């Protein structure tokens, strides 16, 4: 089980120490806003002291989140995708995808911190170079001052008395005084620049060290990340294969349905030949509710569990038209003819399983699918309420139920307007 990366605070120990350093006058060269840094460090320390309990609570929540995430990752990795149910594969894929996305965020954040520390190290190294150049310039100034002091001997009175020209003696005395003052200032500036250089060197070293530490942790994290990506790829491939299989079955079912619709139209034309020359087979059904289509009854006494219309697969998300209504009932429940008519077909219809199709005239047919057994035969005349078969789960079915359709000239329509 891997440990979550703990990203470093921006304020490092050497910065905190530097913020406590006494303010001093500054000369030209690399400088920092020490007062602002000190205030920022103080504010960070105070806020950390005040919210220790809150921070502990946040850390506990993060630890718990990481523990849950690891458990989900382990469960997804241990799942036998080939044997698992569709819902299990889909749920595992969602979990592992969430985990991979979270890890990707951590990887990106780690890389950003590495880049920031590398940039900080480069900036600090530039400051070191600038400080070294400034030190060299100051040392040259000190050398010049030392030469002037050596030439004058450092004795203003002797310089004045030994000069034959009072004006030149005063000028040399003034230069000597200035040289003494410049020496103190340059030495102080040199000390400050040297301290700045040491701080910049420490900053560069600390930034490099921090970048290397994060890189080490990132290397561990990447191993886990790649493992989770492997699990994700397996689950995704399995689910995609199942979706493809489902879509192939849907396509096969649609092809079967097209053949069934063509068969119904052909048989309807035989039962109801055209009465005018040049007319096509079948007839146009009147609108639901008119006397010619009255007299339907429900084929079984059970609630409608799934209605007519487009519906989305709960796992795969694909959409298809549900061409009738489903009524849940126990296997073996008798199925009655919804209205008087002639049995067009009674037998196996692919995904519909054992199916009975009854013609009621005027281009209207009813279909009763997934039966466990059929009680009628093609060409038989039936009356409303006659038993035509029994509820089952044959064909493309997940459990015992009756799939009931109303078709007009072979095309499925919503059965509800036709029913009492």
pLDDT in single tens digits along all 420 residues of the chain: 443 333 333 333 333 334 443 343 434 444 333 333 433 443 444 444 445 677 778 888 878 888 888 898 889 889 898 898 999 999 999 999 999 999 999 999 999 999 999 999 999 899 888 888 887 887 777 777 666 666 555 554 544 445 555 565 555 555 555 555 566 777 777 788 788 889 988 988 999 999 999 999 999 999 999 999 999 999 999 999 999 998 998 899 899 999 999 999 999 888 877 655 444 444 455 555 544 456 899 999 999 999 999 988 878 888 889 999 999 999 999 999 999 999 999 999 988 999 999 999 989 999 999 999 999 999 999 999 999 999 999 998 889 999 999 999 999 999 999 998
Closest among 344, 352, 343 to 371, alpha carbons compared: 352
What is the predicted pLDDT for the residue at 5?
37
What is the predicted pLDDT for the residue at 355?
98
What is the predicted pLDDT for the residue at 344?
96
Report the distance separating Cα 307 and Cα 415, nearest Å: 9
**What is the pTM for the complete model shown?**
0.61
Report the distance separating Cα 16 and Cα 38, nearest Å: 7
Secondary structure (3-state) at 345: strand
Q: Rg (Cα) of the chain, in Å, rounded?
A: 45
Report the distance separating Cα 92 and Cα 72, nearest Å: 8
What is the predicted pLDDT for the residue at 152?
55
CA-to-CA separations, 195 to 24, 275, 302, 331, 341, in angstroms, rounded: 11, 111, 90, 91, 105
Report the distance separating Cα 156 and Cα 170, nearest Å: 9
Q: What is the CA 159 to chain-centroid distance, rounded?
A: 84
Report the distance separating Cα 52 and Cα 175, nearest Å: 61
Sketch the domain layout of the chain as residue ranges.
13-245, 296-418
Report the distance separating Cα 188 and Cα 31, nearest Å: 15
111-118: which pairs have CB atoms within 8 A and are 24 or more residues apart? 111/218, 113/7, 113/8, 113/210, 113/211, 113/214, 114/211, 114/214, 114/215, 114/218, 117/207, 117/208, 117/210, 117/211, 117/214, 118/207, 118/208, 118/211
Domain spanning 296-418: CATH 2.60.40.1120: no
């Amino acid at each position: 089980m891997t440990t979550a990366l703990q990203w470093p605070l921006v304020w490092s120990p050497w910065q905190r120490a530097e913020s406590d350093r006494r303010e001093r006058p500054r000369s030209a060269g690399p400088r920092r806003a020490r007062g602002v840094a000190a205030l920022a460090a103080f504010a960070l320390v105070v806020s950390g002291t005040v919210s220790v309990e809150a921070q502990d609570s946040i850390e506990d929540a993060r630890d718990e989140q990481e523990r849950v995430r690891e458990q989900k990752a382990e469960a997804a990795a241990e799942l036998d995708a080939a044997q698992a149910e569709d819902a299990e594969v889909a749920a595992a894929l969602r979990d592992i995808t969430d985990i991979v996305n979270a890890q990707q965020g951590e990887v990106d954040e780690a890389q950003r911190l590495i880049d920031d520390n590398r940039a900080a190290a480069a900036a600090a190294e530039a400051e070191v170079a600038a400080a070294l150049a400034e030190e060299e310039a100051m040392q040259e100034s000190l050398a010049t001052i030392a030469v002037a002091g050596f030439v004058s001997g450092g004795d203003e009175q002797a310089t004045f008395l030994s000069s034959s020209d009072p004006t030149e003696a005063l000028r040399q005395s003034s230069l000597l005084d200035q040289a003494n003052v410049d020496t103190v200032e340059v030495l102080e500036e040199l000390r400050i620049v040297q301290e700045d250089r040491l701080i910049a060197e420490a900053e560069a070293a600390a930034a490099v060290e921090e970048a290397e530490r994060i890189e080490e942790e990132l290397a561990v994290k990447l191993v886990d990340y790649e493992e989770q990506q492997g699990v994700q790829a397996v689950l995704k491939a399995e689910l995609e294969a199942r979706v493809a299989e489902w879509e192939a079955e849907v396509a096969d079912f649609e092809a079967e349905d097209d053949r069934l619709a063509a068969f119904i139209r052909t048989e309807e034309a035989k039962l109801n030949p055209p009465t005018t020359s040049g007319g096509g087979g079948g007839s146009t059904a009147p609108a639901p509710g008119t006397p010619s289509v009255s007299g339907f009854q429900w084929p079984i006494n059970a609630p409608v569990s799934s209605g007519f219309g487009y519906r989305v697969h709960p796992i795969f998300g694909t959409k298809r038209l549900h061409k009738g209504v489903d009524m849940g009932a126990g296997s073996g429940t008798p199925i009655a003819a919804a209205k008087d008519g002639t049995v067009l077909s009674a037998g196996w219809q692919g995904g519909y399983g054992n199916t009975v199709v009854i013609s009621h005239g005027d281009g209207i047919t009813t279909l009763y699918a997934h039966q466990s057994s059929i009680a009628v035969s093609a060409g038989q005349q039936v009356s409303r309420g006659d038993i035509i078969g029994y509820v089952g789960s044959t064909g493309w079915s997940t459990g015992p139920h009756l799939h009931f359709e109303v078709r007009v000239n072979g095309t499925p329509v919503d059965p509800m307007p036709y029913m009492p």
